A = this chain, B = another copy of it.
Amino acid sequence: MIVKDIGKEQLIRDTAKHLFFSEGKLHATTQDIADAAGVNRTLVHYYFRSRNILFEQVVEEARLDLRNTIDSVLKAPLGFKEKLQKIISVFIDETTKYPFRELFVITETNRNKDLGTSKMNNGFIKSFMIEVKREMDAGNLKNMEPKQFIMNLFALMAYPVLASQLNKAILDIKEPEFKRLMKQRKQLIFEMLYIGN
């Protein structure tokens, strides 16, 4: 992992993120984090006072990153078709980079039902849903409730990476083939959803 020299505080935060989001070690202890960062465990407490504070910060960053990722593409000034392609592209790139980030947010959002709710929803989704409805009326998308469309979109983008180990096990495939399949998916997902031309 690339290490910034800017400071141990950021190093610790980044390492925690790396353990949680890239390696999927959801139960990593302060010791695990310190070891991975190559610092003394006490330093974690020096900067964050408690594991929980570090934890909260990282969860919050994850939730924000996820939300920003979604927002930044939803509000892009593009035609629907191009926007949809961009959403898929950006989201899959992000997901590949941090395969477990969404799993992490899911787990934490489940654990603390109230906390996440208010911080995720925003106006962009609503205006995107209106666009979706318009495209359905125009015959470019299969007709359904826009909310269903969005759930389908996220499902197709997120699930395969999220459950990559399980998918590999069920389909009996190894990493190289899995990588190849993931590459195909940007185009594939678009084709599954967009039936216009």
Contact across chains for A109 and B165 when beta carbons are under 8 A apart: yes
Given A120-B166, A155-B159, A159-B158, A148 and B109 touching (CB < 8 A)? no
Residues in chain B near residue A166, CB distance under 8 A: 102, 105-106, 109, 116, 120
Residues in chain B near residue A27, CB distance under 8 A: 27
Q: 1/0 per residue A16-42: CB within 8 Å of B?
A: 000000001111000000000000000
Residues in chain B near residue A117, CB distance under 8 A: 165, 168-169
Bound together, the chains give a CA A28 to CA B110 distance in angstroms of 14
Residues in chain B near residue A156, CB distance under 8 A: 152, 155-156
Contact across chains for A171 and B125 when beta carbons are under 8 A apart: yes
A contact face: mostly helix, strand, loop, or mixed: helix
Residues in chain B near residue A145, CB distance under 8 A: 181, 184
* Additional A-B contacts beyond A118-B169, A151-B167, A158-B163 (13; CB < 8 A): A103-B107, A106-B162, A106-B166, A120-B169, A121-B170, A145-B184, A151-B160, A154-B167, A154-B170, A155-B159, A156-B156, A159-B162, A192-B192
26 contacts between A and B (CB under 8 A): A24-B110, A24-B111, A26-B111, A27-B27, A102-B163, A106-B166, A110-B165, A113-B165, A116-B169, A117-B165, A119-B169, A120-B166, A120-B169, A125-B170, A126-B172, A145-B181, A145-B184, A148-B181, A150-B171, A151-B167, A152-B156, A154-B163, A155-B156, A155-B158, A158-B159, A158-B163
